[in-house]
Structure 1
Amino acid sequence: MATGGLSSLPALLKTVLAIFCLACRPTEAAPTFLDLLEDPSDISTLVKAAGFLANYGYISPEKGQTSPEQMNVTEMSFAIRKMQRYAAVNQTGVLDQPTVRMINTARCGVHDEPEELSDSRIEYYVSDTVVAADSSLGRKKRYAVAGLNYKWNKNDIKYKLTNYPDESRSRITKAQVRADTERALKVWSDVIPLTFSKVNVREAADMEILFGSYHHTELAHDPTFDGPGGTLAHAFFPNSGWGEANGDVHLDDSETFTHREFAADGTDYLYTVAHEIGHALSMSHATDRSSLMFPYDKGYIPDFVLPEDDTRGIQLLYGKKTDAPSNDGETTAPVAHSEHEVCRRGVDSLTMVDNVLHVFSGNKFWRFSETKDILGQVEGTVSRDYFERLNAGTTAVYTRWDVKLVFLRGRNYWAYDGSSKDQAKARKIANLGGVPKSPTAVMHDRDQRHTYFFKYSKVWKYDEQSQSLVDGFPMGVHKAFDGLPKKGRVQAAFTDEQGDRYLLVGRQYYRFPNGQNQLDPEFPKDFLVDYFGCQPVFTQ
């Protein structure tokens, strides 16, 4: 079911103006909307957040739930908390930096919690969230479905590709669109007893997949798209009151769709259409970042396989496929293979991209979710297949403030965003000004735009904005990070989405909470045991 888009612009503008006026209203004790901002002067963020919350169903002026006359800080904060839950950030109820970052992230147009409306032309249904516990894994996992009444009542689904993305904008061929669509359907049909049959564009189909911009169909209440960025696509649940649109998938043709690219300026078509097909099969949004049904764009994922939670959710609706391939060892954590090559070789470098940890070892890399689930193949992905000119032996990697991946080896570094080979040209580390050549590890604090370079017993803090070292650096690594072993060398490091810093010394990794140089008392832990299921090493 699609519920995104600015289909009621006048009402939304009234809400935004009401928020602005109330935010500026002087009071002595009562909280105002400015209390929801980290920077009270940043009214534009408040206005944008109000538009976002209305656009994705968290506030509903049309129903009077949070109309301009009734809007108050408590309601707004509650709406922000709900949004934060689906964005997988801390539920603070305020517009902090992680929340604003997610508001600015492209996403699916389907509402996270669709409302139940009585309308003869259109019906919205509340998703039933199902919580499953697997005692063998020792953790709880979440997935969401739209309900057993809103699924396909047939086993063979006929689909058609009505058109293709704009060739002047997207970087994907028609053949690649067809192949990626088939693969996206197979992601789901591999685990459930449904089949998908492609029909001619002139034939009737159960599922229509089309590309369009702004007002893209004549269907009443079909949400309009918003141009590049913002809403990437939307879909409609089966049997959900949309008539011919039930089970259809619409993609915003204003986007730049790509094929097998790590591209900051593009949207991976395969992952996007696989997500929307999930909705067309009656899957709702999930709050777990590792889920395919997480509402926000995660970019290109090599060797993608359906995560365990999505598999359980879709099988709740349609049952298991008797010959379904097992995901055991691919989407559960840890990998549980004591002879894994990383267990023998160790880790070269680490970095976090969109809350997915990338682990580089030799000429391969692996990707892990925040719950330590491996994403993709257990045997890893050859780095050079996806990063132009990247050779084995890269000593460090970090994700910069502009979301480019920066690889370092020897005296050179490569800033890579996947959109062009020019981005992979070698540049001299000496040009950065004051940082050491051949660092053993690097990590980046995106909020402060500071990059830490580690070498031997010292650490350098580099300001990416001023392009100079921060005063007081270099300094001893043990002074900057109290709790590291005296004789240890930092060989890899990364910063997570919350700003917590992790340093790897040998097999042990150390966590330093955001803004602190004191070691988390629950650390160190064995990285290879936690992530690759290697046999623990006991020392006396």
Structure 2
Amino acid sequence: MSDSREKNAKDCIEMGFLVKYGYLDQDHHTHNEAEVKAAVRDFQWLSHLPVTGRLDSDTLDKMASPRCGVKDEGGHDAWAHRVNAVFTGNLGKGGHHLRKKRYAQTGEKWYKRHLTYRVMNWPRHLSQGPVRLAVRTAFELWSNVSGLVFEEAGEGPADIRLAFYEGEHNDGIGNAFDGPGGALAHAFFPCRGEAHFDMAERWTLNGHKGHNLFLVTAHEIGHTLGLEHSPVRHALMSPYYKKLGRSLLLSWDDIAAIQKLYGKPSRGSVVQMPGQALRWAMHDWEMSQDSTEGSGTALPLYCQGLFDAITMDQNQTVLIFRGGLFWTVSSEGNVSSSIPLQQRWPHLPFAIDAAAFSPLDKKLYFFKGKRIWRYTGTDLDPDFPKKTRELGLPRQPDCAFFYGPLGHMIVFKGSRYFVLNLQTLHSEPYYPRRLADWKGVPQGANGALTHTDGRLYFFRERRYWTFDPGKVRVTGTGQWAGKLQWTGCHKVSPLESNDIL
């Protein structure tokens, strides 16, 4: 009976997804098997999955992936018609209305070429300066390939308004934000001019963990200009979130769609932007923001509440990583100036997912994406980097740390953890296991280390959790910037006292 109830609940979630994103008509409370199968086929086609009409595991995994909250209405017939119109220059009778818009009362496009925008509020953990730079660059991405011009409005009204909200925010049925993951943001077609972002997401710039605010902003701006979702795999207007890479940010389909609405740039030439250019721009900004540390009055950037990884080496020096930079903190709590990551450890990528020092072999391990690096001092060991799957480990781990009681490396990923044998460089048998084994440790920790006091510390955003290996449970929690002097942020007044569990 319980299995039946679980299946019914699962079916309701899947049907809710197909209705929410426009694959099934929300005005009908029941749908027959043929309608559901056709809806699943449309979803699979747009998502580049085998078109079977069955809710297989790959289809369900895709449905659970982070994405834009705007509907995918239209199907491949309408998109094929649009592609034909782009290449023939003949839109055809009724071509403007082949696909229903999310809001029927809105227009197809803006009927002016100079548009203003304004950021109404700001995400947590990111400074206004880099956010403003990222938003401006996101608008420039579209103006560089079209006849549009954008200008930031300081105060007062603006054509396009960007804002951050949590949960239900008076935005209509089905548009409440759902916390981390799921729908990251949504926008309205012209001429309402609004894009909303989920405040609960971990927004990031410059390669940090989380979802890249620039990419999501550029996508949502596309909607505010009248663009719909694209079935082209690498298009910016594809509905699913993609990480910032090195390649050009706009696909041919993105450019064709925006030029169909607003024409080509007045200067005649199209300017494309590679993802790597944005990375370096944000890196330069971060370096300039951090350059005042030497005055002795400013705190390191990571003290704002976010870092990518943390570990402690054989000299009891704490290493803290954020983007392309890292800091060292002595046992007395004295923090260094920021140091470029690749300056100390050549061959590392631009940023990392996790780092852990092992006292067993005196080596430092770095994780990024699908690969793992191992260093002896500052020298990369032979045969590294290796692919994590060869070691039986997940890609893009949340955190990693050496755990003395087991004598192995522990790797956290989502709701599971893996145990890496450093002598065989393979995951131990019978793993992964559920994170519930670590009683009280939260999911999504972005760092962990064993301190000289013998306790294990887990970090997630602004908070830390103290784990007692003897009791095998969390024994305390608090805000690390104000409470843990060895993080180098002890000049910060604690916002909250430590809570003993």
Partner of 2:43: 83
The answer to whether the 8 Å contact 2:230/2:237 transfers is: yes
Partner of 1:102: 62
For 1:439-461, what per-residue CA distance to the aligned partner results, in whole angstroms no more than 9, with x for missing partners? xxxxxxxxxx99xxxxxxxxx99
How many angstroms apart in 2 are the aligned matches of 1:282 and 1:129?
A: 17
How many angstroms apart in 1 are the aligned matches of 2:32 and 2:111?
A: 44
Partner of 2:117: 159
The answer to whether the aligner puts 1:294 opposite 2:238 as a matched pair is yes
How many angstroms apart in 2 are the aligned matches of 1:114 and 1:386?
A: 38
- 1:419 deviation in Å? 8.5
Where does the alignment leave 5 or more consecutive residues of structure 1 unmatched? Answer: 1-19, 25-39, 116-125, 136-143, 240-245, 332-381, 391-396, 433-448, 451-459, 469-540
Partner of 2:226: 282
The answer to whether the aligner puts 1:319 opposite 2:263 as a matched pair is yes
Partner of 1:187: 141
Partner of 1:466: 430
User: Which residue, 123, 130, 152 being the options, matches 2:82?
Assistant: 130
Partner of 1:384: 349
How many angstroms apart in 2 are the aligned matches of 1:262 and 1:224?
A: 26
Tell me, what secondary structure is at the counterpart of 2:257? helix
Counterpart amino acid of 1:287?
Answer: P
- 1:46 deviation in Å? 2.6
How many angstroms apart in 1 are the aligned matches of 2:131 and 2:53?
A: 40
How many angstroms apart in 1 are the aligned matches of 2:269 and 2:57?
A: 42
Tell me, what secondary structure is at the counterpart of 2:118? strand
- 1:184 deviation in Å? 0.5
- Structure 1's consecutive aligned runs of 4 or more residues displaced over 4 angstroms after TM superposition are 40-44, 126-129, 132-135, 144-149, 219-222, 326-331, 411-420, 422-427, 460-465
The answer to whether the 8 Å contact 1:387/1:416 transfers is: no
User: Which residue, 209, 212, 220 being the options, matches 2:165?
Assistant: 212
Distance 1:49 1:230, change over 3 A: same
Distance 1:134 1:216, change over 3 A: closer
Distance 1:388 1:160, change over 3 A: same
Question: TM-score by structure 1 length?
Answer: 0.49
- 1:74 deviation in Å? 1.6
The answer to whether the aligner puts 1:58 opposite 2:58 as a matched pair is no
How many angstroms apart in 2 are the aligned matches of 1:269 and 1:108?
A: 12
How many angstroms apart in 2 are the aligned matches of 1:207 and 1:284?
A: 17
- 1:410 deviation in Å? 3.5
- 1:99 deviation in Å? 0.7
How many angstroms apart in 2 are the aligned matches of 1:387 and 1:398?
A: 6
For 1:141-160, what per-residue CA distance to the aligned partner results, in whole angstroms no more than 9, with x for missing partners? xxx99899611111110111
For 1:288-323, what per-residue CA distance to the aligned partner results, in whole angstroms no more than 9, with x for missing partners? 220001101113335653222211221121111134
Whose relative contact order is higher, 1 or 2, with alpha carbons under 8 Å and at least 6 apart? Answer: 1
The answer to whether the 8 Å contact 2:236/2:249 transfers is: no
For 1:77-104, what per-residue CA distance to the aligned partner results, in whole angstroms no more than 9, with x for missing partners? 1111111122221111111121111111
The answer to whether the 8 Å contact 1:156/1:194 transfers is: yes
For 1:189-248, what per-residue CA distance to the aligned partner results, in whole angstroms no more than 9, with x for missing partners? 1111211111124x111101111112224x666822222221111111114xxxxxx121
Tell me, what secondary structure is at the counterpart of 2:67? coil
How many angstroms apart in 2 are the aligned matches of 1:461 and 1:248?
A: 50
For 1:427-478, what per-residue CA distance to the aligned partner results, in whole angstroms no more than 9, with x for missing partners? 9xx969xxxxxxxxxxxxxxxx99xxxxxxxxx997776359xxxxxxxxxx
Tell me, what secondary structure is at the counterpart of 1:384? coil
Q: In the comparison of the two structures, how many residue pairs are matched?
A: 322
How many angstroms apart in 2 are the aligned matches of 1:109 and 1:317?
A: 23
The answer to whether the 8 Å contact 1:151/1:317 transfers is: yes
Distance 1:248 1:261, change over 3 A: same
User: Which residue, 212, 215, 236 being the options, matches 2:188?
Assistant: 236
How many angstroms apart in 1 are the aligned matches of 2:274 and 2:224?
A: 28
Partner of 1:438: none
Where does the alignment leave 5 or more consecutive residues of structure 2 unmatched? Answer: 88-97, 277-346, 356-365, 375-380, 410-416, 419-423, 433-501
Flag the structure with higher helix content: 2
Partner of 1:74: 34
How many angstroms apart in 2 are the aligned matches of 1:273 and 1:75?
A: 34
Distance 1:325 1:92, change over 3 A: same
Counterpart amino acid of 2:160?
Answer: M
Partner of 1:528: none
How many angstroms apart in 1 are the aligned matches of 2:213 and 2:273?
A: 26
